[in-house]
Amino acid sequence: MFVSLAVVTVLMSVLLLVSAGAKSLRTRHITEQMSTLGVPQSLMAFLIGAQIAGAAGVIAGLWWEPVGIAAAIGLTLYFAGAVAFHLRVGDNKGATPAALLTIASVALIVLHAATL
């Protein structure tokens, strides 16, 4: 079970860091998407920090379970919020990746619970 947890953890961490990097570059695509979703530019630093903290937390959770579980819960809430923001503006296409990441975050919680 630990191998599954490690694989999902590494994949999630890579996706989070890539996403945080894209947000930090403030590309036109990201800026337009955030504007469409109604996310103010002043929150971008918070979103980037949350993703980096989530990646660090799930990695640390491989050695200390409570940190991994807390990080996975935080990521579940983060991505569920992203789904809500996408659906609020009718962006079903954008909601799909956020929903998949929500499911992956829940999977991390379940895998951590299974390895206790």
- The ranges assigned to domains in the chain are 2-114
Print pLDDT tens along the chain (116 aa). 899 999 999 999 999 999 999 999 988 888 889 999 999 989 999 999 999 999 999 999 999 999 999 999 999 999 999 999 999 999 999 999 999 999 999 999 999 999 88
Q: What is the pTM of this model?
A: 0.92
| CA 46/CA 114 separation, integer angstroms | 31
pLDDT for residue 79: 97
pLDDT for residue 14: 97
> Please, what's the b/e burial string for 68-106 (b: 16 or more CB within 10 A of its CB; e: otherwise)?
bbbbbbbbbebbbebbebbeeeeeeebbeebbebbebbb
Residue 91 corresponds to which amino acid? Answer: D
Tokens describing residue 96: 């799909």
| CA 98/CA 76 separation, integer angstroms | 10
pLDDT for residue 10: 97
